Amino acid sequence: MASAMLLPGAATLGVMGGGQLGRMFVHAAQSLGFRTVVLDPDADSPAGLVAHEHVQSDYLDPAGLARLSAVCDAITTEFENVPATALTQLAASRAVAPAGSAVAVCQDRADEKAHFKASGVACAPHAVIRSAAELAFVPDSLLPGILKTARMGYDGKGQIRVRDAAELAAGFAALKGVPCVLEQMLPLQLELSVIVARGADGAIVNFPVQQNLHRDGILAVTEVPAPAVSAELQAEAVASAGRIAASMGYVGVLCVEFFLLQDGRLVVNEMAPRPHNSGHYTMNGCDVSQFELQVRAMAGLPLPQPRLHSPTLMLNLLGDLWFDAAGQERTPVWDQVLALPGTHLHLYGKQSARPGRKMGHLNITAASAEAARDVAQRAARLLGLPASW
């Protein structure tokens, strides 16, 4: 359902999902004067704790969806695994951005890759495997490769590296024989991402290209400006992300992740229909954050072209930092970290830490990229993180 422009201070915005992305969305919406409502089954969800109202229910619960629809003027999602059918149901009576149809594409790697191809954007050579019988027809050229579940994988989960046909068969069995995508393993130079925001009127803006470093499948460091990506490749990435968004009539914030190969080619990896971990630097490095653009897009407000006012580096903060070498809980040395110039700490309000859990992020802004990197490395050493990248 389409809606008229929603003015700040005069409407209620809802979000499906109560994690850290929902929490930062709520903060951005509230800063513009919007009332906020979160639907999430967890009583202690980070977003639910700061919203004006928390609808505690399952994402497909009819009563919960009815309440969210009754009190909100527009609704968004904070993670791609919210059931697309729920978003489509809500769209019958309220403006929903992004649409359930767009989220559904992002929820299935096979559909996602088909969309990339239809958009004219190159991705890794791959094969869709829906049953064990199809393993025999996988081209040898795709091995070695990475076998990924078509649905529900994130942060390196649901993925197995396979070197040959025997490992492929074993990997498919280990993933319970669910539909999968096998991607040819490509020689990577680095990883990067682009975040775009698109309005219902087709207007589209983008943040600068982000250069990313992952460790164990989880984003660890983001640098902007991207130090090792040429202006030509950055322009190609931005244009490709824009085509991907426009070709599915996308409304909202979309992150598109790319691989830069050793031979200099750029291929798309995957996309997320929401703000993204690699865009958290925008909260301190840009004149408008990815979360404010999420609010603006769903409310039908103007989308300004973001401006990077400071070189910025983002460090992801996982729950490992809350434990010492002996496994005893501790409080990280925030006082020492915050004594460093240009440091901006964002903690997500999660009730307990555990290894691998995203607990927050640290943005470092400076007058130059070199200065930002220097301070970030000092902060990393204080926290016990790897300090070279």
For 276-288, write each residue's pLDDT tens digit.
Answer: 999 999 999 999 9
Torsion angle of the four alpha carbons 270, 290, 320, 176, in this order, in degrees rounded to the nearest 10: -30
Residue 136: pLDDT band with limits 50, 70, 90: confident
pLDDT tens track for 285-342: 999 999 999 999 999 999 999 999 999 999 999 999 999 989 999 999 999 999 999 9
Q: Is 366 helix (H, G, I), strand (E, B) or coil?
A: coil
Amino acid found at 53: E
Q: Is 323 helix (H, G, I), strand (E, B) or coil?
A: strand
> Whole-angstrom Cα distance, residue 258 to residue 256?
7
Location of structure tokens 């220097």: 374
Instruction: Say whether 199 counts as a known binding-site residue.
Output: no
Pick the CATH number of 12-96 from 3.40.50.920, 3.20.10.10, 1.10.150.130, 3.40.50.20: 3.40.50.20
| Alpha carbon of residue 122 to chain centroid | 20
> Whole-angstrom Cα distance, residue 193 to residue 111?
20
Instruction: Say whether 16 counts as a known binding-site residue.
Output: no
Instruction: Say whether 206 counts as a known binding-site residue.
Output: no
What are the helix (H) ranges across 175-212?
A: none
Instruction: Say whether 39 counts as a known binding-site residue.
Output: no
Over residues 174-181, the mean pLDDT reads: 91
Instruction: Say whether 155 counts as a known binding-site residue.
Output: yes
Residue 75: pLDDT band with limits 50, 70, 90: very high
Q: Which CATH number describes the domain made up of 125-184?
A: 3.30.1490.20
CA 149-248-301 angle, 5° bins: 120
Instruction: Say whether 257 counts as a known binding-site residue.
Output: no
Instruction: Say whether 185 counts as a known binding-site residue.
Output: yes
Residue 156: pLDDT band with limits 50, 70, 90: low
Residue 154: pLDDT band with limits 50, 70, 90: low
Out of 4-8, 133-137, 203-207, pick the least confident: 133-137
Q: Which of 237, 255, 236 is nearest to 245 (CA)?
A: 255
Instruction: Say whether 176 counts as a known binding-site residue.
Output: no
Instruction: Say whether 269 counts as a known binding-site residue.
Output: yes
Cis peptide bond upstream of 98, omega within 30? yes
Inter-CA distances, 300 with 22, 163, 303, 305, 386, Å? 19, 48, 9, 15, 42
Instruction: Say whether 184 counts as a known binding-site residue.
Output: yes
The pLDDT of residue 158? 80
Instruction: Say whether 315 counts as a known binding-site residue.
Output: no
Q: Which of 245, 237, 270 is nearest to 113 (CA)?
A: 270
> Whole-angstrom Cα distance, residue 216 to residue 200?
37
Over residues 91-112, the mean pLDDT reads: 96
Residue 81: pLDDT band with limits 50, 70, 90: confident
Instruction: Say whether 265 counts as a known binding-site residue.
Output: no
pLDDT tens track for 35-50: 999 999 999 999 999 9
Instruction: Say whether 61 counts as a known binding-site residue.
Output: no
The answer to whether 361 and 316 have CB atoms below 8 angstroms apart is: yes
The answer to whether 284 and 365 have CB atoms below 8 angstroms apart is: yes
> Whole-angstrom Cα distance, residue 373 to residue 389?
9
Domain boundaries, the chain: 12-96, 125-184, 188-383
CATH class of the domain defined by 188-383: alpha beta
Q: Which of 223, 227, 232, 225 is nearest to 264 (CA)?
A: 232
Location of structure tokens 């798309």: 268
The pLDDT of residue 3? 61
Q: Is 56 helix (H, G, I), strand (E, B) or coil?
A: coil
Instruction: Say whether 270 counts as a known binding-site residue.
Output: yes
Instruction: Say whether 370 counts as a known binding-site residue.
Output: no
Averaged pLDDT of the chain:
95
The pLDDT of residue 2? 56
Q: Is the pLDDT of residue 155 over 80?
A: no
